[in-house]
Amino acid sequence: MTDNTDIYYDDDADSTVLDDRTVAVLGYGSQGHAHAQNLDDSGVDVVVGLRETSSSREAAESDGLDVATPRNAAEQADVVSVLVPDTVQPDVYDEIRDVVTEGDTLQFAHGFNIHYGQIDPEDGINVTMVAPKSPGHLVRRNYEHNEGTPGLLAVYRDATGDAHDIGLAYAKAIGCTRAGVIETSFQEETESDLFGEQAVLCGGVTSLVKTGYETLVDNGYSREMAYFECLNELKLIVDLMYEGGNSEMWDSVSDTAEYGGLTRGDRVVDDHARERMEEVLEEVQDGTFAREWISENQAGRPSYKQLRAAEKNHDIEDVGEDLRALFSWGEE
């Protein structure tokens, strides 16, 4: 941890900051349902903003929450938490722009649209981010178990002088300060998040798995063995890394595996891969990826659909589906 990184816990947050404020949660998907329910259970006045045609309205109402249209919800609120997908946030903000007024707080869980200028709030509005580092269902589950989910806190604009306090109180109300909340910026969160997804977590890992699988199968090994060695066992390794870092993983595998990994891993993910990672990061930093993704959505997602179909049709998906059906862990 760098010396200038601040981490906040429950005792650092003043819950009373939200006592006289209403929070509108726009969206009731993965993050939206968790934030809304946790806020409500923490005693915060919450209204969920959903379109009249939204399939989530019934779920939110059955969970005991007040539901209104996004515009009506935002009009009632002092804090507006925008938790709809990144791609529709600009349109939603256009709907509520004139009812989010001076002194209000616009809250996000990801900095994409603020950082890349797709949403530009008026000067008198606070702009904050509270980003749990976990899928929404775990944010909710951890809260219900009196546990916490680590999160990030950023203030893009402090128009009222207490935006940081509002963000921290919000983080406490959804359970993040139970585990710890790290101070960051919209730029750092957005760029590191996109890079991590593209180069490692989603793009890098799946490409490595598929390439390893293809290498074994192309050299005559069975599809089933290739699946187990390159995909199934990955969870075991990642679990060890999650629990105690790389050192925990090295201490837990065999000496043969450790020596092989230490001497061969950098030959696969070598300086060429590092150069490609630098390129990916640069495209995130200079807005190339953001412009590409925005254009892709405006065009109806033709490349996205094609790439997604190709991914689903890869041979590793067929063999994986067959194997998971045969073993008891496939039913968990």
Q: Do 78 and 49 touch, CB atoms closer than 8 A? A: no
| 226/209 Cα distance (integer angstroms) | 10
Answer for the pair 230, 215: CB distance below 8 angstroms, yes or no.
no
Measured in whole angstroms, the distance separating CA 5 from the mean position of its chain's CA atoms is: 21
Q: What is the distance of C-alpha 300 from the center of its chain?
A: 23
Structure-block tokens of residue 32: 């939206």
Residue 106 CB: number of other CB atoms within 10 A? 25
Helix, strand, coil abundance in the chain, percent, nearest 5: 60, 10, 25
Give the active site residues. 110
Of the candidates 165, 129, 131, 172, the one whose C-alpha atom is nearest the C-alpha of residue 151 is: 131
DSSP-derived 3-state class of residue 105: strand
